Amino acid sequence: MIDLLKRSFDRLPISMEKRETFNFPNAVTILRLAILPALFLLLLSPGPTGSLVITFFFIIAALTDILDGYIARKYQVETVMGKFLDPIADKLILNTAMILMIPIGRIPAWIVAVIIMRDFIVDGIRSISSSEGLIVQASSLAKQKTLCQNFAVSALMIHYPFLGADAYVVGMVILYVALALSLVSGADYLIKFYSAVVTKK
């Protein structure tokens, strides 16, 4: 299936110069960002059916996050733009979804604030580390945190009872796990950054 999509994309009338940046995995990332407008329907406080539809779009965006990276590695078409766009798309979709659920009471504002602040701090650490030539290895906790966030946000988007389970309660339980992982992984980054600075000196 992926090979078929790749061949179809390669047939598009795009110049070789543009293909260096606008390649297949980057196109998938851009399409993922196109799902953002659908998330704003959350502000309408949709009912059970509407919530399921919006959640479907969010899950598609989350799954294509895995897809674009896999495609870039498989076809060896990793680019600077791809490395720039991919993490931005991830955070933009996830954070937008969480922020839009605050006004309709589906997610506590303080948890969203803590998670977003943690992300800003970690991004700052990465930026400083890169500029100083320091190597700060990412921990598996960060990936686990993102995975938990995606599960939590999906359940909180559904909100209403689904398949015999209270989606809101399930979402909140997973969200607290994601919050804990956010704090622990953030502290891990700080410790590793401090150790790298001390080692360099």
Question: What DSSP string describes 28-94?
Answer: HHHHHHTTHHHHGGGGG---HHHHHHHHHHHHHHHHHHHHHHHHHHHTT---HHHHHHHHHHHHHHH
Q: So what's the pLDDT on residue 155?
A: 95
Question: 165 - beta bridge partners?
Answer: 162
* pLDDT (0 to 100) of residue 190: 85
How would you write the pLDDT of the chain (201 residues) with one tens digit per residue? 555 555 555 555 555 555 556 666 667 777 788 888 889 999 988 999 999 999 999 998 888 776 656 665 665 666 666 566 777 888 888 999 999 999 999 999 999 999 999 988 888 888 787 776 766 666 788 888 988 999 999 999 999 999 888 999 999 999 999 999 999 988 888 888 777 776 665
Look up residue 42 and give its two tokens.
């959350």
Structure tokens at 129: 């580390």
> What tokens appear for 31 in the block?
């399409």
Contact 32, 64 (CB under 8 A): yes
Give the pLDDT confidence score for residue 126 in this predicted structure.
81
Full-model pTM: 0.82
Amino acid, res. 52? L
